[in-house]
Chains A and B, each alone.
Chain A
Amino acid sequence: GIQVEQSPPDLILQEGANSTLRCNFSDSVNNLQWFHQNPWGQLINLFYIPSGTKQNGRLSATTVATERYSLLYISSSQTTDSGVYFCAATYSGGGADGLTFGKGTHLIIQP
């Protein structure tokens, strides 16, 4: 199956800083999503982005499908951005329809 790797595994930043989270995937995808798991354990959809660039407020994401990576940008970080960020993908060649998740990036924003 498809492999999804995220980096860095941990990131500690001061409030107001910008950050870039990376997701590499091993094969072509027809679904790639970014999630934020908050401290209460809820998975919040951030982006559905199998290709191209999207922006939503302070967050933006870019997927370069031909090079098999996606980036999540967080600008002007706030303490409420803390949590774990997951990238997940589905292989476009058929087979399993479930998302394969990376291990996540644990982000801590300090005041």
Chain B
Amino acid sequence: NAGVMQNPRHLVRRRGQEARLRCSPMKGHSHVYWYRQLPEEGLKFMVYLQKENIIDESGMPKERFSAEFPKEGPSILRIQQVVRGDSAAYFCASSPPRAGPLYTQYFGPGTRLTVL
């Protein structure tokens, strides 16, 4: 049973370019979460999605960042006009349909974004 898959594993962009990060959840999982790990800030929640719906985007920067989880295909985290401060590891996690409060988030290997 494959785990959470993320690609690319490493991504290099120049300032002003767009970055697209992909996440395929574990089989049977319908909930996706994105987190960002900045060197001095630790791991921070960004957004929580279900198929075709954004449930909680309280951790998303207000500008340049967007996320989607279409009916078919992987979840996409999109960063427009990247700046050096966007350099970080971006992790995706998935969880099965909730059964009350009991759910575990399983993390992918992450995408390391470097902005030159």
Contacts and interface: CB of A to CB of B under 8 A. Distances in A.
Contact of A101 (B42, B56, B58): B42
A56 interface: no
Give the interface residue-count category, chain B.
20 to 34
Contact of A92 (B46, B91, B101, B106): B101
Interface in B84-116: 89, 91, 93, 101, 103-107, 109-110, 112
Q: Which DSSP category, helix, strand, loop or mixed, fits chain B's interface?
A: strand
B107 A98 contact: no
Contacts of B42: 101-104
Contacts of A92: 101
Interface string A88-100: 1000100011111
Given A86-B43, A101-B44, A43 B101 contact: no
B69 interface: no
Contacts of B105: 31, 33, 99
Interface of B: 33, 35, 42-48, 55-56, 58-59, 89, 91, 93, 101, 103-107, 109-110, 112
Given A43-B110, A97-B56, A98-B46, 12 more contacts: A30-B101, A41-B109, A96-B56, A98-B45, A98-B47, A98-B56, A98-B59, A100-B45, A101-B35, A101-B42, A101-B43, A104-B42
12 contacts: A31-B101, A31-B103, A33-B104, A41-B89, A48-B104, A88-B43, A96-B45, A96-B59, A98-B48, A99-B33, A99-B35, A101-B42
Interface of A: 30-31, 33, 35, 41-43, 45, 48, 50, 86, 88, 92, 96-104
